[in-house]
């Protein structure tokens, strides 16, 4: 008997040592490392599928990025004695007043220049500056670039691309024939660093001031090329972005263009249609879009700005959504998403929400595959792209995600989803169901010093769509 006890003791000690070895090592991992490993595992737990092909429209431009102070000096513009925020720029005096308002505060702004001749004259000068650099601009161009370059997918771009943009776009990206136009639409981006001096003014933060006279995208002219291109390319997914460009238009033009887009989308064949809403500031435009388009698309991509604007229109948590938008609690976002999927459920079966610190994808069960893997992939893309780094380390990243969260705002009934749960970095993906809707939530490892923020939302949405294949309409 004694020998038996000794054997059992030896076995117990052996397992205790193994446990110390394993869990001792385990204890050395930081939350960032555990989360990164967990997200990578989740992203790879993908059911194998043929990569979908895409047609992406409709906004594209060339971003001409220059030093703000270098351009202002070349134009002979000093800070204004009477700074004010101007909604559209008709003259150099407007530009001077508007920049004098934003520059010391370090606030990003984007303005429409009404004077075409003046805009073209400024561009000619901007092109001669030492700091001048050219980049791909416009959400459709950025999404399609990400799909072919980073993800190796097949994509056709339907958007106006002039000679300069054609050179900048990746060779593998197919351009719809109508998309090759004679003139580039240029967006001027004036960048400045924190504490940079412009005359007597000091920049409060590093930021940018953008202006353009971009008629093509403001009126969504390339819409008319969408249907022929979809017929010809027969893609699995059609992505529509650039609707936010209508913000610069009067109400009647907005209504006319949105109704035209609705007609075009209704006429498309069986491809999944994704509407990218991110970056719309005007709530009346958000209302116009959801009333006309949510019933004719399969998928929507948005952030907290647009989600709150939608919820203010008869959605849940009015007391919360009436407040200025910050990164909202998970439970609030999940409830609004469920309200939208229920309200438009006859057609809309996927919502991809992304904020700085977390993403949630909600789908109608059976309509989309790989929901958790797709959400994790998009989160990893956000981190890697912002820091331009494959490695996700503590030196470069923070994990500001809430350490305790619930998945539903308590409404008096006992509900497991409304109970607070701790966030566990070792298994960072949370999945749950409400009725016939499936959800996946992932935190985002937030880059401490972002190298690249332009096109971040576009890359996130494109990655999510690529890795969450469409299975068909309800």
Residue-wise pLDDT tens digits, 350-380: 999 999 999 999 999 999 999 999 999 999 9
How far from the centroid of its chain's Cα atoms is residue 95's Cα?
29
For 404-416, b where at least 16 C-beta lie within 10 A, e where not — what string? Answer: ebbbbbeeeeeee
Contacts of 393 (CB under 8 A, 6+ apart): 32, 33
What is the 8-class DSSP label of residue 224? G
What is this structure's pTM? 0.87
**Reported confidence tier of residue 22, pLDDT bands at 50, 70, 90:** very low
- Please check the confidence at residue 381 and state whether its pLDDT lies above 70: yes
**Reported confidence tier of residue 322, pLDDT bands at 50, 70, 90:** confident
**Residue 403, Cβ neighbours under 10 Å: how many?**
11
Mean pLDDT of the 15-35 span: 66
Contacts of 121 (CB under 8 A, 6+ apart): none
Residue-wise pLDDT tens digits, 268-295: 988 999 999 877 778 889 899 999 999 9
Record the tokens describing residue 276, joined without a space: 């990218």
The strand pair at 358-364 and 437-443 is best described as antiparallel
Distance CA 331, CA 430 (A): 13
Distance CA 244, CA 301 (A): 13
Contacts of 82 (CB under 8 A, 6+ apart): 97
Record the tokens describing residue 60, joined without a space: 């594209």
How many residues are given for the chain? 474
Distance CA 102, CA 308 (A): 26
**Residue 441, Cβ neighbours under 10 Å: how many?**
25
% residues pLDDT > 90 (the chain): 74
- Please check the confidence at residue 95 and state whether its pLDDT lies above 90: yes
What is the 8-class DSSP label of residue 161? B
- Please check the confidence at residue 15 and state whether its pLDDT lies above 70: no
Instruction: Provide the pLDDT for residue 247.
Output: 84
**Reported confidence tier of residue 13, pLDDT bands at 50, 70, 90:** low
Mean pLDDT of the 113-136 span: 96
Of the candidates 63, 214, 338, 458, the residue annotated as catalytic is: 458
Edge-to-edge strands of the sheet including 61-67? 88-89, 109-113, 207-212, 186-192, 61-67, 133-137
Secondary structure class of 279 (helix, strand, coil): coil
What is the 8-class DSSP label of residue 85? -
Our answer to whether residue 458 is catalytic in this structure is yes
Mean pLDDT of the 141-170 span: 95
- Please check the confidence at residue 25 and state whether its pLDDT lies above 50: no
Instruction: Provide the pLDDT for residue 83.
Output: 94
Question: How does DSSP assign 94-154, residue by residue?
Answer: HHHHHHHHHHHHT--EEEEE--HHHHHHHHHHHHTSTT-EEEEESHHHHHHHHHHHTS--E
For 209-248, b where at least 16 C-beta lie within 10 A, e where not — what string? Answer: bbbbbbebbbbbbbbebbbebbeebebbbbbbbbbbbbbb
Range from 14-28, 93-107, 322-336, 397-411 carrying the lowest mean pLDDT: 14-28
């Amino acid at each position: 008997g004694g020998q038996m006890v000794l054997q059992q003791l030896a076995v117990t000690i052996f397992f205790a040592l193994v446990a110390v070895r394993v869990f001792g090592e385990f204890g050395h991992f930081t939350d960032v490392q555990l989360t990164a490993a967990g997200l990578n595992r989740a992203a790879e737990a993908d059911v194998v599928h043929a990569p979908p092909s895409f047609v992406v429209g409709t906004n594209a431009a060339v971003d001409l990025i220059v030093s703000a102070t270098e351009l202002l000096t070349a134009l002979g513009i000093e800070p204004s004695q009477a700074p004010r925020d101007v909604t559209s720029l008709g003259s150099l005096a407007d530009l001077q007043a508007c920049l004098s308002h934003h520059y010391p505060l370090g606030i990003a702004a984007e303005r429409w220049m009404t004077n075409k001749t003046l805009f073209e004259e400024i561009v000619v000068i901007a092109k001669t500056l030492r700091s001048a650099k050219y980049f791909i601009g416009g959400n459709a161009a950025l999404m399609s670039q990400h799909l072919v370059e980073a993800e190796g997918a097949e994509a056709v771009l339907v958007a106006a691309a002039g000679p300069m943009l054609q050179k900048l776009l990746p060779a593998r990206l197919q351009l719809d024939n109508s998309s090759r136009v004679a003139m580039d639409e240029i967006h001027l981006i004036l960048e400045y660093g924190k504490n940079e001096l412009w005359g007597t003014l000091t920049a409060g933060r590093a930021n940018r001031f953008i202006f353009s006279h971009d008629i093509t995208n403001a009126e969504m002219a390339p819409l008319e090329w969408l249907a022929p291109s979809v017929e010809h390319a027969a893609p699995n997914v059609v992505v529509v972005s650039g609707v936010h460009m209508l913000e610069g238009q009067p109400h009647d033009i907005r209504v006319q263009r949105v109704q035209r887009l609705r007609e075009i989308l209704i006429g498309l064949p069986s491809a999944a249609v994704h509407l990218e809403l991110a970056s719309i500031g005007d709530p009346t435009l958000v209302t116009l879009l959801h009333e006309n388009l949510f019933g004719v698309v399969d998928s929507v991509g948005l952030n907290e700005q647009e989600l709150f604007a939608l919820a203010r229109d008869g959605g849940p948590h009015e007391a919360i959504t009436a407040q200025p938008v910050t990164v909202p609690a998970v439970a609030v976002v999940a409830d609004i998403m469920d309200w939208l999927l229920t309200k438009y459920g006859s057609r809309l079966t996927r919502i991809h929400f992304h904020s700085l610190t977390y993403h949630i994808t909600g789908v109608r069960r059976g309509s989309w595959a790989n929901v958790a893997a797709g959400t994790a992939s998009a989160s990893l893309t956000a981190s890697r792209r912002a820091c331009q780094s494959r490695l996700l380390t503590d030196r470069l990243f923070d994990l500001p995600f809430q350490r305790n969260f619930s998945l539903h705002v308590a409404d008096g009934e006992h509900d497991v989803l409304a109970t607070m749960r701790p966030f566990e970095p070792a298994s960072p993906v949370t999945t749950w169901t409400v009725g016939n809707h499936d959800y996946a939530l992932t935190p985002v490892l937030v880059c401490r010093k972002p190298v690249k923020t332009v096109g971040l939302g576009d890359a996130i949405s494109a990655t999510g769509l690529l890795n969450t294949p469409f299975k068909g309409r309800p």
